[in-house]
């Protein structure tokens, strides 16, 4: 993959469409535009042109054409856009014409974004935000992805890194200028205060799991004794027939997941096997999976049928007791909520409750981390800063403290992709495969 090639790709999806967008980026963009569309239009002004095959001069399509010279383009390079008609033959003809030009080749997956990153048009956390914008399925996910793309986390990480680099500069100056290797006391106070400040902010970011939850979806597990009506409730919440329902106790054995959009928040609802002692090996496996999922869930709905339940609810972070089959017996007072999934009674209340739970768990913050990668980098930085702080406070060796501070800056730099991110890049960019 040569980065001085000119690349092109469809930016819109495959399949028949009214319009198809083809992007071109690289040093030959201007020449390509001239050869296919004639005179190059004014920068960033859309004009209608006849696109022609550069070899034969044959007209291929009427297109809207844009010229976007670097460095103010998405990739930072010279770019052109062709908005052509979206029919299969038109697309094929234009793409074939582009491919026949010298030094011009189809882009690899994510290559436009990779160039934008390499040319400093966006940092790595923003690239992740862009991937999330493209993948966002609910309104709240879209909003979060937009904030990430706008640099909410990246800016905070850069601020932390700058403070840490200032600390490092102060430590290195002390190393150079003091014979005893001691830091003057007021300077030391200053350094410790700066470290405290960063640690406090990073701690707050780490404590807030809402960003990761919002990206992945809140998990709600339906648990209860066999025949409680779990699968019927799943089908009602999903508004389709996902799980088998029957009067036979022990119908569900596998874990069944459905992704829902509740008030703009992504929620994964999980139906599980009824909890009971069983001699059946398959059912035993189902029950142990049910318990495991309940333990990891953000919320467990413990479903209790009118006849009651003998066993205790499974261990869970958070649990709501929901009385089922309310159409058969409405006089139950020991439940948080009553539903009759068969008739739909009580469902709006339950959905309202789930939305409230989801939005309270997905509150916003200043520097919201959205991926495990961010969490790992910040935890690493926190460890280094903690050790540096302890060494300085106990007047340990300055060189070692400085080394820890340097490592902390590196760890934070991973968030914006300033250091050590090749493997992350490869994985991330391969996700920008539009429509393939
Ligand atoms: N009257 C009434 N019957 C219901 C209601 N919900 C479920 N049932 C019935 O209760 C029986 C069991 O329902 P399921 O949804 O299969 O129960 P489950 O908890 O998934 O059971 P297992 O998968 O065996 O653990 C079925 O015959 C349902 O039709 C309800 O709201 N009202
Ligand atoms: Mg079931």
Is the Cβ atom of 231 under 6 angstroms away from ligand 1? yes
Q: Which ligand is nearest to the CA of 275?
A: 1
> Which pLDDT belongs to residue 363?
59
> Which pLDDT belongs to residue 186?
77
Q: Which ligand is nearest to the CA of 227?
A: 1
Measured CA to CA, the distance from residue 218 to residue 264 in angstroms comes to 12
Phi/psi at 21 (nearest 5 deg)? -105, 125
- Compute CA 334 distance to the chain's CA centroid, rounded to the nearest angstrom: 39
Is the Cβ atom of 227 under 6 angstroms away from ligand 1? yes
Distance from residue 245's CA to the centre of ligand 1 (Å): 6
Query: Which residue's C-alpha comes closest to atom 21 of ligand 1?
Result: 227
- pLDDT (tens place) for every residue of the chain, 436 residues total: 566 899 999 999 888 899 999 999 999 999 999 999 999 999 999 999 999 999 999 999 999 999 999 999 999 999 999 999 999 999 999 999 999 998 899 999 899 999 999 999 999 999 999 999 999 988 888 988 999 999 999 999 999 999 999 999 988 888 777 665 566 777 888 899 999 999 999 999 998 888 888 888 889 999 999 999 999 999 999 999 999 999 999 999 999 999 988 878 889 999 999 999 988 999 999 999 999 999 999 999 999 999 999 889 999 999 999 999 999 977 777 899 999 999 999 999 999 999 888 877 775 667 888 999 999 999 999 999 999 999 999 888 889 999 999 999 999 999 998 776 566 666 676 666 554 4
Query: Which residue from 229, 290, 326 has its CB within 8 A of the most atoms of ligand 1, so it is best to mutate?
Result: 229
Query: Which residue from 223, 225, 226, 227 has its CB within 8 A of the most atoms of ligand 1, so it is best to mutate?
Result: 227
- Compute CA 298 distance to the chain's CA centroid, rounded to the nearest angstrom: 18
Ligand 1 atom nearest residue 252's Cα: 23
Distance from residue 266's CA to the centre of ligand 1 (Å): 26
Is the Cβ atom of 274 under 6 angstroms away from ligand 1? yes
Phi/psi at 37 (nearest 5 deg)? -120, 5
Is the Cβ atom of 237 under 6 angstroms away from ligand 1? no
Residues with Cβ within 8 Å of residue 48, at least 6 apart in sequence: 62, 63, 64, 65
> Which pLDDT belongs to residue 175?
79
Measured CA to CA, the distance from residue 251 to residue 411 in angstroms comes to 50
> Which pLDDT belongs to residue 376?
95
Distance from residue 318's CA to the centre of ligand 1 (Å): 24
Distance from residue 269's CA to the centre of ligand 1 (Å): 17
Query: Which residue's C-alpha comes closest to atom 7 of ligand 1?
Result: 229
Ligand 1 atom nearest residue 343's Cα: 31
Q: What is the DSSP string of 27-85?
A: TTHHHHHHHHHSSPPSTT--EEEEEE-TTT--EEEEEEEEEE-TTSSSSSS-EEEEEEE
């Amino acid at each position: 993959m040569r980065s001085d090639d000119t690349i092109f790709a469809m930016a819109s999806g495959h399949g028949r469409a009214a319009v198809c967008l083809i992007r071109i980026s690289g040093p030959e963009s201007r020449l390509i535009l001239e050869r296919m569309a004639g005179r190059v239009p004014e920068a960033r002004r859309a004009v209608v042109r006849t696109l022609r095959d550069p070899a034969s001069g044959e007209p291929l399509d009427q297109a809207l054409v844009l010229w976007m010279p670097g460095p103010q383009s998405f990739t930072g390079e010279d770019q052109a856009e062709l908005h052509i008609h979206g029919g299969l033959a038109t697309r094929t003809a234009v793409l074939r014409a582009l491919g026949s030009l010298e030094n011009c080749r189809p882009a690899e997956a994510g290559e436009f974004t990779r160039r934008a990153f390499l040319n400093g048009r966006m940092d790595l956390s923003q690239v992740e935000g862009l991937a999330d914008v493209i993948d966002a399925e609910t309104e709240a996910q879209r909003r979060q992805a937009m904030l990430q793309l706008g640099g909410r986390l990246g800016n905070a990480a850069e601020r932390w890194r700058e403070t840490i680099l200032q600390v490092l500069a102060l430590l290195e100056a002390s190393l150079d200028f003091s014979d005893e290797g001691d830091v003057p006391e007021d300077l030391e106070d200053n350094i410790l205060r700066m470290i405290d400040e960063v640690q406090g902010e990073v701690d707050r970011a780490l404590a807030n799991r809402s960003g990761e939850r919002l990206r992945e979806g809140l998990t709600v597990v339906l648990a209860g004794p066999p025949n409680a009506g779990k699968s019927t409730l799943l089908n009602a919440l999903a508004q389709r027939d996902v799980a088998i329902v029957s009067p036979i106790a022990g119908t569900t054995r596998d874990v069944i997941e459905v992704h829902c959009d509740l008030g703009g928040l992504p929620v994964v609802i999980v139906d599980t096997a009824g909890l009971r002692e069983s001699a059946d090996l398959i059912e035993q496996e189902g029950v142990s999976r049910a318990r495991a999922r309940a333990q990891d869930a953000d919320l467990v709905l413990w479903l209790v049928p009118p006849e009651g339940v003998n066993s205790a609810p499974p261990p869970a972070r958070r649990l709501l007791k929901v009385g089922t089959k309310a159409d058969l017996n409405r006089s139950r007072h020991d439940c948080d909520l009553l539903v009759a999934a068969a008739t739909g009674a009580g469902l709006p209340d339950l959905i309202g409750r789930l939305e409230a739970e989801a939005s309270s768990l997905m509150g916003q913050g200043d520097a919201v981390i959205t991926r495990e990668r961010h969490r790992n980098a910040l935890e690493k930085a926190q460890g280094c800063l903690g050790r540096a702080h302890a060494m300085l406070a106990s007047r340990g060796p300055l060189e070692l403290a400085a080394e820890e501070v340097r490592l902390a800056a590196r760890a934070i730099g991973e968030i914006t992709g300033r250091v050590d991110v090749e493997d992350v890049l490869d994985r991330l960019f391969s996700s920008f495969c539009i429509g393939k």
